[in-house]
Amino acid sequence: MWNVEVDSADVDFIRGRHSELGSGFPRFALFLFQWRCAEALGRTLERIPAETVGWLDEVVVMMDAASAPTDADQKALRAAGEKRGLRLQFHRQPRNHDFGGARKAAFEYAIQRGFDFAIAMRGDGLHPAEALPALIRTSLDSPQSFALAARVHRLKARPAGLPLARMLAHLASTGLQNRLLALQLDDYHSSFRVYPTEVLRRIPFHLNSNDRAFDMQMLIQCRALGFPIEEVRVPPVWEEYPDGWKGGREVLAACANAVDYRLHQLHVSRKGRYFVDRSVHYTLKQSPTSSHMQIVDGIAAGSAVLDLGCSQGLLARPLAEKGVRVVGVDVGSPNGLASHLAAYHRRDLEGPLDLPLGREFDYIVISDVIEHLRNRAQLLRGARRFLKEGGRLIISTPNVALWFYRLSLLLGRFEYGSRGVLDATHVHLFTRASFRREVEKAGFHVLQERVTALPFEVVFESTGRSRTMQRVAASYHALARLWPELFAYQVILEAEITTLGEESTLQTPAG
CA pair distance 97, 110, nearest whole angstrom? 17
Question: For residue 302, what pLDDT band results from cuts at 50, 70 and 90?
Answer: very high
User: Whole-prediction pTM value?
Assistant: 0.68
Residue (of 477, 486, 422, 478) closest to 453 by Cα position = 477
Q: Residues 106-151: pLDDT tens digits?
A: 999 999 999 999 999 999 888 889 999 999 999 999 888 889 998 7
Q: Please say whether the beta carbons of 344 and 313 come within 8 A.
A: yes
Q: Residues 1-37: pLDDT tens digits?
A: 445 677 788 999 999 998 899 989 999 999 999 887 8
pLDDT at 463 over 70: no
Q: Residues 164-185: pLDDT tens digits?
A: 777 777 778 888 889 888 888 9
Eight-class DSSP state of 498: S
Residue (of 252, 425, 271) closest to 350 by Cα position = 425
Question: For residue 159, what pLDDT band results from cuts at 50, 70 and 90?
Answer: low
Q: Please say whether the beta carbons of 452 and 473 come within 8 A.
A: no
pLDDT at 461 over 80: no
pLDDT at 331 over 60: yes
Assign 397 to helix, strand or coil: strand
Q: What pLDDT does residue 98 have?
A: 84
Torsion of CA 60, 64, 66, 69, to 10 degrees: 40
289-302 mean pLDDT? 94
Eight-class DSSP state of 56: E
Q: Please report, in angstroms and rounded to a whole number, the separation of the first and last CA atoms in the chain.
A: 104
Q: Residues 402-417: pLDDT tens digits?
A: 998 898 889 888 878 7
Assign 395 to helix, strand or coil: strand
Bridge partners (DSSP) of residue 328 are 307, 344
What angle, rounded to 10 degrees, do the helices at 376-383 and 432-441 form? 50
The domains of the chain, with CATH numbers, are: 8-161+184-241 (3.90.550.10), 291-500 (3.40.50.150)
What is the residue-averaged pLDDT of the chain? 85
pLDDT at 438 over 70: yes
